[in-house]
Amino acid sequence: MSIKLKGDKNIIPTDELKRRDLQIISNMVVAGSRVLDIGCGNGALLDYLGRNKSVDGRGIELSQSGVNACVANGLSVIQGDADTDLEHYPQDAFDYVVLTRTIQATKNPLEVVKSLVRIGRHAVVSFENFGHWRLRLKTLLTGRMPVVGDDGHSWYDTSNIRVCTIRDFATMCDELGLRVQRALSLSRSGSIRELISTGVIANVFGEEAIFLLTRN
């Protein structure tokens, strides 16, 4: 059974941010905290957090156009790569380290997640769920790799090179001995489920997941 969490004040989506995962994450972050957004794109989340929650935000972005847009907009963002540039940050440098829709594009997700929880007191990871029923069905019926996300990239040009399901990710967190503070799955219809209470259902009906992690 799915639990609608729309009444939960902590995760009321913010209309100002276009992406739903960012809407929810922006409400997980405590005002005035230090945030590192890895794969910050055009800086929408950092900009929002800076203006509305007095967050001291930094970003890392792989694409040159994204970095330039961020810095030209007054954000503190560096050109860098989640796979290679996280080792230089000290432990507990940030209150939150955010990695949205990027984990599946990294070469070594395991090391990246370890870095997130080392650098940040909290890590927030969002990713598209390849365990969603529609993707499972499509692969079953058409025999072709699923195409996910807004960009609709095919297997040969998608940036997702390490695809996973919500259960896969949860298992990895277990193996790393991480504490999952919150795990949400989002569906296209707008419902938000707590993974802890819905388990398998979340993995089937969630199109996207957000994990809030800490070291144990």
Partner 1 sequence: MTANQDTRDPIGLDTEGFSGFRVELARDMPMKLDSGETIGPFTAAYTTYGKLNGPKSNAVLVCHALTGDQYVSETHPKTGKPGWWEKMVGPGKTIDTDRYFIICVNVLGGCMGSSGPSELDPVQNVPWGLNFPAITIGDMVRAQALLLDSLGIENLFCVIGGSMGAMQVLEWATKFPNRVFSAIPIAGAARHSAQNIAFHEVGRQAIVADPEWHEGNYIQKNTKPKGGLSVARMAAHITYMSETALHIKFGRRLQVGDAVSVGSDDNFQVQSYLRHQGSTFVERFDANSYLRLTRAMDYFDIAAEYEGILANAFEGTPVRFCLISFTSDWLFPTEESRDIVRALNAVTANVSFVEINTDKGHDAFLLDEPEFRLTVSGFLDGAAEHRGLI
Using CB under 8 A, count the residues that bind partner 1: 23
- Is 58 or 132 the residue whose CB approaches partner 1 more closely? 58
Q: For residue 67, report the phi and psi dihedrals to the nearest 5 degrees.
A: -60, -50
For residues 70 and 64, is the Cβ–Cβ distance under 8 A?
A: no
Residue 73 in contact with partner 1, rule: CB under 8 A: yes
Interactions with partner 1, residue window 86-145 (CB under 8 A): 88-90, 93-94
- Is 75 or 195 the residue whose CB approaches partner 1 more closely? 75
Residue 71 in contact with partner 1, rule: CB under 8 A: yes
- Is 49 or 183 the residue whose CB approaches partner 1 more closely? 49
Residue 20 in contact with partner 1, rule: CB under 8 A: no
Tell the smallest beta-carbon distance from residue 140 to partner 1 (Å): 44
| CA atoms 9, 15, 17, 22: torsion sign | positive
Interactions with partner 1, residue window 136-195 (CB under 8 A): none
Q: Please name every residue paired with 120 in a beta bridge, in sequence order, or none if there are none.
A: 94
Among 45, 67, 97, 173, binds partner 1 (CB under 8 A): 67
Residue linked to tokens 């890590």: 123
DSSP, collapsed to helix, strand or coil, labels residue 104 as helix
Instruction: Please state, in angstroms and rounded to a whole number, the distance separating the CA atoms of residues 127 and 125.
Output: 7
Residue linked to tokens 């910050």: 40
The string of DSSP codes covering 69-84 is HHHHTT--EEE--TTT
Residues binding partner 1 (CB under 8 A): 34, 56, 58, 64, 67-68, 70-80, 85, 88-90, 93-94
